[in-house]
Amino acid sequence: YTILSKVHSDRNVYPSAGVLFVHVLEREYFKGEFPPYPKPGEVSNDPITFNTNLMGYPDRPGWLRYIQRTPYSDGVLYGSPTVENVGKPTIIEITAYNRRTFETARHNLIINIMSAEDFPLPYQAEFFIRNMNVEEMLASEVLGDFLGAVKNVWQPERLNAINITSALDRGGRVPLPINDMKEGVYVMVGADVPFSSCLREVENPQNQLRCSQEMEPVITCDKKFRTQFHIDWCKISLVDNTKQVSTFQEVIRGEGILPDGGEYKPPSDTLKSRDYYSDFLITLAVPSAIALVLFLILAYIMCCRREGVEKRNMQTPDIQLVHHSAIQKSTKELRDMSKNREIAWPLSTLPVFHPVTGEIVPPLHTDSYDNTSMPLMQTQQ
């Protein structure tokens, strides 16, 4: 059901369109490409990572994915080739990096996509397995066990694994690192016979209600998967291509749709140097000159066009100026008189008792003192 190949230099593989393709990049093979371990007698366990890209491009084709969990695990290329790529050889450059010695080794993988006569299979079902990661599901023995369980439930004549997708690629969240939680994986399979009654049970109104209430539906054939695979039956997708009507409509070019301009052609490397002097004048010199002119006009208006005090007095009536002058003179005279006062505080404001001992304080003058000539206010000392 899957095409599994070992890595070799310039290896040719022949996957079928619409069938899952898996290619393993084994670290053991690439260890021979790097120098031996420095300590004799010790087994080399260098961390090795891989970089894969389509020849002449920075990334892989859209249908091909790559995963390597740690530098000490094998890398896996997987995906489902499309019909559009049939007959076109796809050359994948595989570069291995030794993280200990920083050396590299490069091999080419030539993928020749073949057309499948029985593709596409009309009945397709997509399962969500909660207790698996994508690299675990890509193992041939694990995927074979899953397809065997599906075949036991579905009973088709032809059954193919079409595609495998990690739940993280569907917008899923990274699981917490507790209890060995898995991220989950979507597995799409196709068959040539209609769906079995067991798979149709998820469409029952009772199970749909339980799914809407976030409860697990009741599926009779779940026990055939439960021993190894925990399937979320609320996320199963059943597609019957025999009943689907083509909704393709011819695109009418108009506003909002750009014409096909062909491939992107980057500018040449021999570009002429550009003179930025005119740009400098436009962006800095011209606004600065305008600001300076406006500043000079404002300064002339504020400083050189003042009317002054004389013009103000000439436009003010004489009687108003006389009243204003009289008020100023009276105010000044009162202030001068308040400064020249030589009087003391009245006796009523002096303390009668000592503030500390509480004894009676004798008067400041004797009884024979003539207080009739004492001013009402005394000067404060």
Tens digits of residue pLDDT in 112-171: 988 876 667 888 999 999 888 998 999 889 999 999 999 988 988 888 898 999 988 888
Predicted confidence (pLDDT) per residue in 234-292, tens digit: 999 888 888 765 545 555 655 566 666 677 777 777 777 778 888 888 888 889 999 99
Q: Which of 87, 79, 93 is nearest to 112 (CA)?
A: 87
Q: Say yes or no: 134 and 236 in one domain.
A: yes
182 with 234, same domain? yes
Confidence at residue 315, expressed as pLDDT on a 0 to 100 scale: 78
Is 197 within the bounds of a domain? yes
DSSP labels, 2-25: -EEE---TTEEE-PBTTS-EEEEE
User: What secondary structure does DSSP assign to 141-163, as a single string?
Assistant: HHHHHHHHHHHHHH--S-EEEEE
**CATH number assigned to the domain comprising residue 108:** 2.60.40.10
Give domain status of residue 34, yes or no: yes
Arithmetic mean of pLDDT, 41-56: 83
Q: Which of 113, 134, 169 is the last residue of a domain?
A: 113
Structural domains of the chain, count: 2
pLDDT tens, position by position, 81-127: 888 888 888 899 999 998 888 888 888 999 998 887 666 788 899 99
Reference 30, options 103, 96, 109; nearest CA is 96
Residues 88 and 138 in one domain: no
Residue 143 lies in a domain: yes
If you search the block for the tokens 């994948």, which residue do you land on?
A: 92
pLDDT computed for residue 3 by the predictor = 42
Q: Are residues 78 and 172 in the same domain?
A: no
The dihedral built from the CA positions of residue 289, 295, 301 and 306, taken in this order, carries a sign that is negative
Question: In 3D, which of 217, 225, 235, 73 has the Cα closest to residue 167?
Answer: 235
Six-digit token string for 110: 């030539």
Q: Which of the four pLDDT bands, split at 50, 70 and 90, describes residue 345?
A: low
Domain boundary among 240, 256, 283: 240
Whether residues 129 and 226 share a domain: the answer is yes
**Rounded Cα distance, 21 and 159, in Å:** 15
Within a domain: 168: yes
State the burial class of residue 126 (Cβ atoms within 10 Å of its Cβ: 0-12, 13-18, 19+): middle
pLDDT of residue 6: 42
Last residue of a domain, one of 85, 113, 141: 113
Question: Are 106 and 132 contained in the same domain?
Answer: no
* Confidence band of 2 (pLDDT split at 50, 70, 90): very low
Residue 86 sits in which domain range? 5-113
Q: Are strands 64-67 and 75-79 parallel, antiparallel or unpaired?
A: antiparallel
